[in-house]
Amino acid sequence: MKHRSCRLSALVLLGLCASLFSAGADAKNITLQYWSWDSSVKKQNEEIIAKFEAENPGVKVELTTLETTEYWVKLRLLANQGKLPDIFNMSSGYLEEWAKAGFVKDLTKDIQDDLDKETFYMNTLDVGRDIAGTGKYCALPYALVTTVLFYNKDMFDKAGIAYPDKNWTWDDFRKAAKKLTIVKDGKVEQYGFWFFGRYTNVESWIFANNGNLVDQATHTYKPDANAIEAMKFLCDLVTKDKVAPAKKEMGAYRYQDVFPQGVAAMWVDGSWFIDNNRTIIGDKFKWDIAEVPVGPHGDGKTAYGWPDFVALSPNSPNSAMAWKFAKFVCGQGVSIDMYMAGKIPTYKPLTESPAFLEKDKQPANKGLLITQVQQKTLKTSYTQGWSEWRGYGPAENLGLNGIIDAIIDGGMTFDEGMKKADVNINAILKRYYK
Amino acid sequence: MLKHKLSWYRGWVPYVMLIPTVIGLLIFRLGPLLGSLAISFTDLNMLTPATFVGLANYKEMFQNPSFIQTAENTFLFSLVYVVGVMVLGLGLALVLNRKAKGIGFFRAAFYSPVVTSAVAVGIVWSWILSPRLGILNQLLSALGLNEVYWLGDPKLALYVVAIIQVWKMSGYYMILFLAGLKDIPDTIQEAAIVDGANGRQRFFRVTLPLLSPTTFFVLNVAIIDSFKNFELIYAMTKGGPQNATNTLVYDIYINGFIHFRLGYASAVSYFLLACVAVITIINFIFKKRWVKHQY
């Protein structure tokens, strides 16, 4: 009798344990903390949360939305205190630092065992794994951002030039830029092209020429010949060909407004500026997007592209539910209006739906973005300390950005700029990779 | 009667009253000040555990050519600003120190940039100064002159930002000088007139010497203020072009809150603190040579 009651107790205990463990992702009365850096999609995030909560009774997701600068300061403080939210937005620019510091959960097993790989562009996950530099998947991407050539179709028509396509060479581009530059009474009325030292404006050409800025093995700034060729080509467009303005000449404009204001006929920047273009251009002129022209050493198979992620706290008490929410917030929960018309959802059913192409709006060639994510090898130049050496955000006039601006503004020669970049950037990288 | 009302008074009462203020100062001023000093000897980045690096941050600071340029920018900005606000502030105060109809309007008008958002001021001035579309360059073009890259030319940009800061803050110093001018008794000015002093002599021999305590105060406040030059630089140039408008305060912000190099940013903060302290001490040392009190 005694033995029987012992066995019964053990069975009850086992049953209790099993039910506790199996609760996992379906546990009741769970509150998840979700931090977002993007106030422009707060409403959409709230809708995602409402859907998720409806599908998961007993689960509550508390959303905190902060502006980017404030977001990173507060998130770092929380990480330092071991109080990270269960799930939070993560940038490609910071992923390596956070992954190596152990403040993002290793999602390798979750992704291998519990992610429908048919519904996600797995190459975007691989880019994240490479950026993290740990050989592990440390975040789940919800969007890919890439760069494209924006061009003004009306200006092309007026100049009698065929629209750019994937076969365009740099020579074709330069010739078109020359034809599109209009000078009247000694003053440039219309520029063929616009760029400055910004990362999207420069690295796009470097990768299109099969170049690299950073030696990822030694973590040193070592632009190869193809990268130098690309930077020289760009700087010459301003200093020799005079088909693009110096940075100092465009002081009246926000950089993203030069093309939509009709000041320049072509511009290479992030695909997320489609939204801004639509707002400013309206019906004033026809425009479209094309691939960044392939350089003399490029193979046409590479594009500049990096994901925006969600990451999970390594110490979350609700990690199973947080993973479930991460899949939802990157997958079936998202809507097309969260992507600024130009970010590419990593969730295939959304990207490959007719809604993504927005056939009734400009640009007509939006399908190009799908080609970028489906067919190209995606490259980036992210390292630790990237914003410092590259010159980004409030430091955008410093770093490599500032040096390229100085070259095109006539403050230094190309060779002087490259030497300065080599010394300054390697001093910075040396600090981060001791 | 008074004695009866203060019967509760004891010698220790003021000290008790001071406790909340002293606690506040210790926690919110001295605490962070000392904390920052400690941080300046570490590589704190708010993510990984900080390690003690000794004087490495200070060493890096002085070996970095761009930091030397940043420090030079800061002192140049400070010089233009202090001279500018003192001359313009005093000039405005002298012009507006009279009883005339509508004088209040002009005082308010000159003071209004002080209370206007620095970011808004920066944006508006950026438009005024911009090449191609800016009203100033259009004016130059109309006169047949070449356009000037006010904020794009590294030789000009720092002066331009400093002058805009002078324009913005002169109203504040005007109020301080006005208060000082009001404090000079009319009888002294009248005595000088009776003695046959002309306007110039009265200004240099009477007004300026009697205004010297105010001038001393204004000088110190302006110097300290000149080092706090963040907002306009953020709104107008972001430290560019070619590091030409990067100042110590902007450098602290960039390193502290963009690159999260809090150890290095703290070291730069202490360098800035040392500079302000040394200049202020020198001011106090030379004070007795030129500051004349009436009473």
Tens-digit pLDDT profile for residues B69-110: 999 999 999 999 999 999 999 999 999 998 888 899 999 999
pLDDT per residue rounded down to tens, chain A (434 residues)? 445 554 545 544 444 444 444 444 455 689 999 999 999 999 999 999 999 999 999 999 999 999 988 999 999 999 999 999 999 999 999 999 999 999 999 999 999 999 999 999 999 999 999 999 999 999 999 999 999 999 999 999 999 999 999 999 999 999 999 999 999 988 899 999 999 999 999 999 999 999 999 998 999 999 999 999 999 999 999 999 999 999 999 988 999 999 999 999 999 999 999 999 999 999 999 999 999 999 999 999 999 999 999 999 999 999 999 999 999 999 999 998 888 778 999 999 999 999 999 999 999 999 999 999 999 999 999 999 999 999 998 999 899 999 999 999 999 999 999 999 999 999 999 999 98
pLDDT at residue B3, as a whole number: 54
Cross-chain Cβ contact B238/A76 below 8 Å: no
pLDDT at residue A20, as a whole number: 43
Residue B129 lies in a domain: yes
Residue B219 lies in a domain: yes
B155 touches A at CB < 8 Å: no
- A105 SS3 class: coil
> DSSP string covering B198-216, please?
-HHHHIIIIIHHHHHHHHH
Report ipTM for this prediction. 0.85
Set of chain A residues whose Cβ sits within 8 Å of the Cβ of B39:
none
Set of chain A residues whose Cβ sits within 8 Å of the Cβ of B132:
249, 252
pLDDT at residue B292, as a whole number: 80
Interface test with B, best of A69, A97, A409 (most B CBs within 10 A): A409
The secondary structure element, H or E, covering residue B33 is helix B31-39
pLDDT at residue B133, as a whole number: 85
Residue B21 lies in a domain: no
Interface test with A, best of B130, B242, B255 (most A CBs within 10 A): B242
Set of chain A residues whose Cβ sits within 8 Å of the Cβ of B47:
76, 79-80, 97-98, 101, 103
How close is the nearest chain B Cα to the Cα of A24, in Å?
30
Distance of CA A137 to the CA centre of its chain: 17
Cross-chain Cβ contact A398/B46 below 8 Å: no
How close is the nearest chain B Cα to the Cα of A424, in Å?
9
Question: Cα separation of A213 and A382, whole Å?
Answer: 10
Identify whether B241 is preceded by a cis peptide bond (ω within 30 of 0). Answer: yes
Q: State which residues form the domain around B146.
A: 42-290
Question: Cα separation of A26 and A17, whole Å?
Answer: 15
Closest residue, chain B, to A406 (C-alpha) = B242
Cross-chain Cβ contact B238/A394 below 8 Å: yes
Residue B36 lies in a domain: no
Identify whether A363 is preceded by a cis peptide bond (ω within 30 of 0). Answer: yes
Question: Cα separation of A285 and A254, whole Å?
Answer: 19
A248 touches B at CB < 8 Å: yes
Set of chain B residues whose Cβ sits within 8 Å of the Cβ of A251:
126, 129-131, 134, 149, 151-152
Cross-chain Cβ contact A411/B246 below 8 Å: no
Nearest CB neighbour to A252, from listed B45, B133, B246: B133
pLDDT at residue A18, as a whole number: 45
Q: What CATH code is carried by the domain that includes residue B123?
A: 1.10.3720.10
pLDDT at residue B100, as a whole number: 85
A101 touches B at CB < 8 Å: yes
Cross-chain Cβ contact A398/B240 below 8 Å: yes
pLDDT at residue A5, as a whole number: 52
Residue B212 lies in a domain: yes
A78 touches B at CB < 8 Å: no
Cross-chain Cβ contact B152/A103 below 8 Å: no
The half-sphere exposure of A170 on its side-chain side, counting CA atoms within 13 A, is: 20
How close is the nearest chain A Cα to the Cα of B192, in Å?
54
Set of chain B residues whose Cβ sits within 8 Å of the Cβ of A402:
240-243
Interface of A with B in 382-401 (CB under 8 A): 385, 387-388, 393-398
B259 touches A at CB < 8 Å: yes
Cross-chain Cβ contact B260/A76 below 8 Å: yes
Cross-chain Cβ contact B47/A77 below 8 Å: no
Closest residue, chain A, to B260 (C-alpha) = A73
Set of chain B residues whose Cβ sits within 8 Å of the Cβ of A97:
47
A110 touches B at CB < 8 Å: no
Residue B262 lies in a domain: yes
B230 touches A at CB < 8 Å: no
Nearest CB neighbour to B241, from listed A73, A248, A250: A248
pLDDT at residue A22, as a whole number: 42
Angle, alpha carbons B217-B223-B228 (nearest 5°): 125
Closest residue, chain A, to B141 (C-alpha) = A187
pLDDT at residue A23, as a whole number: 42
Question: Cα separation of A237 and B170, whole Å?
Answer: 44
Q: Which two tokens stand for residue A184?
A: 């009247």
Closest residue, chain B, to A390 (C-alpha) = B259
How close is the nearest chain B Cα to the Cα of A170, in Å?
29
Q: How many domains is chain B partitioned into structurally?
A: 1
Residue-wise over A149-183: b if at least 16 C-beta within 10 A, else e?
bbbbbebbeebebeebeeebebeebbebbebbbee
CA-CA-CA-CA torsion sign (A278, A281, A286, A287):
negative
Residue B86 lies in a domain: yes
Question: Could you read off the pLDDT of B32-72 as tens digits, one per residue?
Answer: 999 999 999 999 998 988 999 999 999 999 998 889 999 99
pLDDT at residue A11, as a whole number: 47
How close is the nearest chain A Cα to the Cα of B135, in Å?
11
Nearest CB neighbour to B239, from listed A72, A397, A411: A397
Segments in chain B below pLDDT 70? 1-4, 294-295
Residue B221 lies in a domain: yes
How close is the nearest chain A Cα to the Cα of B131, in Å?
6
Question: Cα separation of A397 and A390, whole Å?
Answer: 10
pTM for the complete prediction?
0.88
Nearest CB neighbour to B241, from listed A69, A387, A409: A409
Cα–Cα distance list, B16 to A177, B19, B31, B94 (Å): 76, 5, 21, 45
